[in-house]
Structure 1
């Protein structure tokens, strides 16, 4: 829940962590500090992470109040670091983790983890988000270490010069082993997308990996980069992803969509291929349905 209040005469000139409990009913000073620390507080539309910040009359304060137990610190194991050179770092993003800051948090996101990783290496560079994975999606993500790398990497994604391979566990079985969906995608709700004539062009190529027990394992190669593209295209085929509640997928412990590989050429023309196996939950569900997968 996003809550918003304006600093009044009674609260102006005081510390931010004193003003929040005074303006927002039900929030204690300790909770105010937690919200500020995790990046869930903004003053006049700018994130503030200093509890002692003095506010003045007319300042607009926004706080993102998360459900109890929702916030988690992000701790990545060593094996999550897939690749690193002087230009890039690549990680295996866990499911259930936001790629970048939300109105509720900065800490606990991959963006924050990468920025802290850079800082520990003595770099003051920010974590630049060149591409995104949905919160429920796991898999390969790559971050540039400096502005020049950000420029050429961003151009690779923009120009379609990054090969992407996803793995999805879906309900049902496709009628063919290889197929292609060419369906423009547009927004149809606050967090829901669908195929519509006035949407943005979107193309995904699919290949059946295996099928068993009313479920199928599918490879997806998105040739464009629209929000929820693979999820929308699979649902349009009557093959919703397991765990994807937004698009009527059957219940699951996580959304069974994983970015298994990214491939592109760096500035010197050297091919970089990044791969990541799905996590234990994904692997366990594949095993339950008698399905197997190996990285290409």
Structure 2
């Protein structure tokens, strides 16, 4: 939820937190300061994270209200990285975290944590988002360390030259050990996609590689990069992902979709790969022999 209002003459000159409290009396001062600290406050469409900033008459304040349980600190240290060289790094994105900032949140996103890591090693380049994982999806995310590296990996992604492997848990047991879905994907509503015409072409390869605990483990290899592609194509196949309730999956502690690996080869022939272990909640729901 985003609250917006204009600063009136009586709030002009007040501190941001005091003025926002006067404008939005339904919020406590502590809630307002949390919104400001976590990057959910914009004044005249610019992010402001200083509670003591003075307000001017006519300023437009926008506050993004985020659930307190989503205010979780996210920090990456060198020992947490899945891969690092002078051009790229890869991190394990946990389920429940946003890949990039939203109107509600900066702090506590993977983008912000990577940005802080880059500064901790002396780089002034910003964290550049070149690909994303859904909030409920865990796994590998690559980040370029500079603009040239960002252009390189962005082009490889557009050309389909970045190999991605996902693990997913589904209910039921497919008749086929492996299959391909070649079906266009279109946006059906603000947050939902589906197989439909007109849509963007999309291809995904699927393979069964484990069964047990009442679920089937699927390896998915997307050959294109459409939003919600694996989720949509598994639902289209009749096997929505466990925990993916918007697409018909049975309830679970989290959506059981995990980006297991990403790899690519640079123009100079260097092979780069990162592999991410599944988190405890995914591992607990998976077939017992999946990780052996």
Alignment TM-score > 0.5, same fold: yes
Q: CA deviation at 1:148?
A: 0.7
Residue 82 of structure 2 is aligned to residue 82 of structure 1: yes
Aligned residue number for residue 290 of structure 2: 292
Aligned residue number for residue 247 of structure 1: 247
Q: CA deviation at 1:55?
A: 2.5
Aligned residue number for residue 54 of structure 2: 54
Aligned residue number for residue 205 of structure 2: 205
Q: Please show how residues 10-21 of structure 1 align to structure 2 within 5 Å.
A: 10-21=10-21
Q: Please show how residues 58-69 of structure 1 align to structure 2 within 5 Å.
A: 58-69=58-69
Q: CA deviation at 1:57?
A: 2.0
Residue 161 of structure 1: SS of its match in structure 2? coil
- Please give the TM-score of this superposition, normalised by the length of structure 1: 0.94
Distance change (3 Å), C-alpha of 1:256 and 1:79: farther
Q: Deviations over 1:192-237 (max 9, x none)?
A: 1111111211111111112336421100011111111101110111
- Please give the TM-score of this superposition, normalised by the length of structure 2: 0.95
Residue 105 of structure 2: SS of its match in structure 1? coil
Of residues 201-210 and 125-134 in structure 1, the stretch that sits farther from structure 2 once superposed is 201-210
How many residues are matched? 292
Distance change (3 Å), C-alpha of 1:239 and 1:2: same
Aligned residue number for residue 221 of structure 1: 221
Q: Deviations over 1:82-127 (max 9, x none)?
A: 1111001111111111101011111000001001001111111110
Q: Please show how residues 173-192 of structure 1 align to structure 2 within 5 Å.
A: 173-192=173-192
Q: Is the 8 A contact 1:82 1:91 kept in 2?
A: yes
Residue 132 of structure 2: SS of its match in structure 1? coil
**Which whole-Å CA distance do the structure 1 matches of 2:77 and 2:253 have between them?**
21
Residue 129 of structure 1: SS of its match in structure 2? coil
Of residues 104-113 and 2-11 in structure 1, the stretch that sits farther from structure 2 once superposed is 2-11
Aligned residue number for residue 193 of structure 2: 193
Distance change (3 Å), C-alpha of 1:37 and 1:276: same
Q: Is the 8 A contact 2:76 2:114 kept in 1?
A: no
Residue 179 of structure 1: SS of its match in structure 2? strand
**Which whole-Å CA distance do the structure 1 matches of 2:70 and 2:114 have between them?**
21
RMSD: 1.6
Q: Is the 8 A contact 2:213 2:285 kept in 1?
A: no
Q: Is the 8 A contact 1:169 1:257 kept in 2?
A: yes
Q: Is the 8 A contact 1:217 1:291 kept in 2?
A: no
Of residues 51-60 and 196-205 in structure 1, the stretch that sits farther from structure 2 once superposed is 51-60
Q: CA deviation at 1:28?
A: 2.3
Aligned residue number for residue 172 of structure 1: 172
Residue 69 of structure 2: SS of its match in structure 1? coil
Q: CA deviation at 1:25?
A: 2.3
Distance change (3 Å), C-alpha of 1:65 and 1:29: same
Residue 140 of structure 2: SS of its match in structure 1? strand
